[in-house]
Amino acid sequence: MSGLTYVAVDWGTSSFRLWLMNANGEVLGERRSDQGMTVAAGTGFASVLQSHLDALGVAADLPVVICGMAGARQGWVETGYVDAPARLSDILTGAVAVRGSARDIRILPGIAQRDAAAPDVMRGEETQLLGALGLDAAIDADVCLPGTHSKWVRVRSGTVERFATFMTGELFGAIARDTILSHAVAGAEDAIDRDAFCSAVAAVFAAPALSANLLFRVRSRQLLFGGSAQSARETISGTLIGAELAAGLAEREAGAPVTLIASGRLRQLYQTALERLSIPFNVIDAEEAVRRGLGHAAASIWRN
Amino acid sequence: MSGLTYVAVDWGTSSFRLWLMNANGEVLGERRSDQGMTVAAGTGFASVLQSHLDALGVAADLPVVICGMAGARQGWVETGYVDAPARLSDILTGAVAVRGSARDIRILPGIAQRDAAAPDVMRGEETQLLGALGLDAAIDADVCLPGTHSKWVRVRSGTVERFATFMTGELFGAIARDTILSHAVAGAEDAIDRDAFCSAVAAVFAAPALSANLLFRVRSRQLLFGGSAQSARETISGTLIGAELAAGLAEREAGAPVTLIASGRLRQLYQTALERLSIPFNVIDAEEAVRRGLGHAAASIWRN
């Protein structure tokens, strides 16, 4: 393998994804597991990484670039934060080397918004932004990155000016697991109930304060009118996503398209919600974005 | 004991409260336990009730009137619902006798809002309303009943016209237990951090769609600026209560006072929030209200 080949890792709270990449941005090999920060903090980050490198037969001198929670205080090596407003290129210069490793391993920093009135942090999404928007110093975008902790980011002239995190995904999980609505959603399948989802999106978008009432109606509707677990789940999902969109879209330039960076089911749900609200948007696959972002980092660190 | 003496029971999902009452509305004896519907459905409703009657030495011929979840489908005897719009006096005529009991035991019905666009149910709160507002056929009120499932009720001419349930209390519990914020609130004490609570109430009242973002800021604030578990807990609480108030108050007659039916810590929190928002209100103790409501029911059933 040549010096142009490298390993890219997206190390989240609950997931680990690794790609063996060549200089053309092509994926030569791939590994996925649930050994996120939470698991790896117990078993050891170095050994988790090495086991996946071994599985792909990666040479000992191949460098590794990592983004995400591996750089958190509870992670492998704390990489701190670049402060917003932050140029996307700033995260490249903030990479921290893992000491005591024979292999060259770098972990990227997050971005912090040190505003006492609206404090916020991201770790991993900055790399998706870099991959999606590139290093174009003139780029403007209003970006939505759905997830456990969804981010809405205002980028102006290649700079992350402001961002806000919404606990949307985590609230969905807690509500579906740990409230009276757990009975309502039991047995729901993976398919999307578009009508229930869109109704909830529209209702909460029109009156975001009603969120906690719209959620309880899921229970009342089942008691008084029946109703499937599927529609219950989609109503909860639509209520939480619709409220997030009401806040996120309020910050956007009027009429400007939203840049949606998402994959899989979340991508489907957010696309459906944006279509329902007649909001223009363009989509970039989140996995593609993080790989491209890690590629920019690798190029900046090892080829300059 | 005379025929004017009776037993009043408020049987909730997770709590059981019993009072031995005389005809003047005076409490002769009292019992409290956590044998709510969830527990009693396992151990048996009749035996739970009898154990508390025995503890107070209540005569075998004394009648018992019950409100709350004992009348639910998963309760003792299903009492159904009176449909809204419902006169408060309607719940008195909907009481159902427990069959096969030597003692005269009646369970009150709930109220249902069979509106497909805004389905809702209450069980127990109708009795608090009856106790707080009485049987005055001319009364108008905009009522807030805080709780696990908070209710906002519009009463016009002694009739429950509309109501809405908010999962405020249950969301607080799920968020504090089952999300990343559980770390932020660990070790919080019972005292109220008025500043943190009021800031959150004002922030979410101004922009209810931001709820899920204001919640995440609790985490970001601790990461970037420190911050106590106490203020974290109160920020979560203020965010959820403030959002509920934004929706509940929007339905009220402009300038009209809110009738707050609450006890203990919830009473403190909602009073503080209403004061912060300069909303006029009057307060009725929730326990006093439910006892008075059960007293109206006893008088109607056994003394007419």
pLDDT tens by residue, chain B, 304 residues: 344 699 999 999 989 999 999 988 899 999 999 999 999 999 999 999 999 999 999 999 999 999 999 999 999 999 999 999 999 999 999 999 999 999 999 999 999 999 999 999 999 999 999 999 998 889 999 999 999 999 999 999 999 999 999 999 999 999 999 999 999 998 888 788 999 999 999 999 999 999 999 999 999 999 999 989 999 999 999 999 999 999 999 988 888 899 999 999 999 999 999 999 999 999 999 999 999 999 999 999 997 5
| B221/chain A closest Cα distance in angstroms | 6
Give the whole-angstrom CA distance, residue B143 versus residue B152: 6
The answer, for B180 touching chain A at a CB cutoff of 8 Å, is yes
The length of chain B in residues reads: 304
Chain-chain contact of A149 with B250 (C-beta, under 8 angstroms): no
Superfamily of domain B6-134+292-302: 2-keto-3-deoxy-galactonokinase, substrate binding domain (3.30.420.300)
Chain-chain contact of B149 with A216 (C-beta, under 8 angstroms): yes
**Partners of residue B211 in chain A, C-beta under 8 Å:** 208, 211, 243
Give the whole-angstrom CA distance, residue A233 versus residue A172: 9
Whether residue A121 contacts residue A165, with contact meaning beta carbons closer than 8 Å, is answered with yes
Residues 131-170 of A with CB under 8 A from B: 149-150, 164-168, 170
* pLDDT given for residue B1 in this prediction: 37
Give the whole-angstrom CA distance, residue B55 versus residue B37: 20
What is the rounded end-to-end Cα distance, in angstroms, of chain A? Answer: 19
**Partners of residue B168 in chain A, C-beta under 8 Å:** 212
Residues 259-288 of B with CB under 8 A from A: none
Give the whole-angstrom CA distance, residue B101 versus residue A255: 68
Whether residue A155 contacts residue A133, with contact meaning beta carbons closer than 8 Å, is answered with yes
Which residues in chain A show pLDDT less than 70? 1-3, 304
* pLDDT given for residue A31 in this prediction: 98
ipTM: 0.93
Chain-chain contact of A209 with B170 (C-beta, under 8 angstroms): no
Q: Is A26 helix (H, G, I), strand (E, B) or coil?
A: coil
| A295/chain B closest Cα distance in angstroms | 28
Chain-chain contact of B217 with A243 (C-beta, under 8 angstroms): no
Domain B6-134+292-302 and domain B168-285, same fold? Reply is yes
Chain-chain contact of A216 with B244 (C-beta, under 8 angstroms): no
DSSP structure class, residue A279: -
The answer, for B226 touching chain A at a CB cutoff of 8 Å, is no
Q: Is A14 helix (H, G, I), strand (E, B) or coil?
A: coil
A-chain residue closest to B246, CA distance: A209
**Partners of residue B180 in chain A, C-beta under 8 Å:** 149, 167, 170
A66: left (phi over 0), alpha (psi -120 to 50) or beta: beta
Whether residue A39 contacts residue A51, with contact meaning beta carbons closer than 8 Å, is answered with no
| pTM reported for the whole predicted model | 0.93
A-chain residue closest to B213, CA distance: A166
Q: Is A106 helix (H, G, I), strand (E, B) or coil?
A: strand
Domain ranges within chain B, ordered by starting residue? 6-134+292-302, 168-285
CATH entry, B168-285, from 1.20.1440.120, 3.40.50.2000, 3.30.1330.20, 3.30.420.310:
3.30.420.310
